[in-house]
Amino acid sequence: MNDLRQLTKLIKKRNALECEITALIGRPAAIGHIGEYIASRVFHIALEESASCKSIDGHFEDGPLKYRTVNVKWYARQESILNITPDSLPDYYLVLAGPKSGATTSRGRVRPWVIENVFLFDAQPLVEELKCSSVKIGLATSVRQQLWTKAEIYPV
């Protein structure tokens, strides 16, 4: 029972932190919402008012991509998968990713919220290339490492 009491204390701490994060970003403290918030500040993205807008989180406010739509993803591990909405593509997918992950068990492994790489995919050409390779497109779309390398904008 000691471990359950300890777990309860830790959950209370986590809930308190989530309340602080929610107050700061104006949305629930989920990794996706936090990733959108970070991306909006770093990449000058105007986020959609509603977080439920299908496949579009916002649009770039300046630079060469001004007015182009973007869907932001933050994956705690870079596992070479990308959730794609083929029936409603944004102009770009901006992916924040943690460390690369091998095909091992998740048991006992931590998934820290860190950003080691950032990728920018032009959605339409990406989907066309995936279709040519007969890749099933949708949730957890498998994207070849070569395409990730080509799309990397940070730290490169």
List the CATH number of the domain containing 30: 3.40.210
Question: Residue range 16-25: average pLDDT?
Answer: 98
Structural domains of the chain, count = 1
Task: Give the model confidence (pLDDT) of 77-88 as tens digits.
Answer: 999 999 999 999
Task: Give the model confidence (pLDDT) of 107-141 as tens digits.
Answer: 777 889 999 999 999 999 999 999 999 999 999 99
The helix (run of H) or strand (run of E) holding residue 60 is: strand 58-60
The confidence band for 73, taking pLDDT boundaries of 50, 70 and 90, is very high
Question: Residue range 5-14: average pLDDT?
Answer: 97
* pLDDT score recorded for residue 86: 92
The residue range of the domain holding 49 is 2-154
pTM: 0.92
* pLDDT score recorded for residue 107: 77
Task: Give the model confidence (pLDDT) of 27-57 as tens digits.
Answer: 999 999 999 999 999 999 999 998 777 899 9
The DSSP code sequence of 62-113 is SGGGTT-EEEEEEESSB-SEE---TTS--SEEEEEE-SB--S---TT-----
* pLDDT score recorded for residue 103: 61
* pLDDT score recorded for residue 104: 67
Please provide the average confidence, as pLDDT, over all residues in the chain. 94
